[in-house]
């Protein structure tokens, strides 16, 4: 069950939140079915999620 959840999360990240240079900087979902890339922050990138509050503060100050 834990492994299945981890794989599901990875597949969602890989297909909807990861830009691919091979695909012209589209996500696989954009390339395959036109699902738009809507990420505007770091919340879907685990290694950068801790920067999200800083990004929001910076963007609201601009």
pLDDT at 26: 95
Give the chain's radius of gyration (CA, Å). 14
Q: What is the pLDDT of residues 29-50, one digit of tens each?
A: 999 999 999 998 888 888 889 9
| pLDDT at residue 23 tops 90 | yes
State the average pLDDT over residues 55-60: 92
Pick 28 or 48 by higher pLDDT.
28
pLDDT at 19: 92
Give the chain's end-to-end CA distance (angstroms, integer).
44
Grouping H, G, I as helix, E, B as strand and the rest as coil, residue 24 is coil
Q: CA-CA distance, 8 to 15, in Å (whole number)?
A: 11
pLDDT at 50: 94
């Amino acid at each position: 069950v834990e492994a299945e959840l981890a794989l599901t999360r990875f597949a969602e990240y890989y297909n909807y939140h990861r830009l691919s240079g091979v695909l012209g900087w589209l996500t696989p979902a954009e390339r395959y079915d036109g699902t738009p890339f809507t990420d505007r922050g770091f919340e879907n990138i685990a290694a950068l999620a801790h920067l999200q509050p800083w990004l929001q503060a910076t963007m609201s100050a601009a």
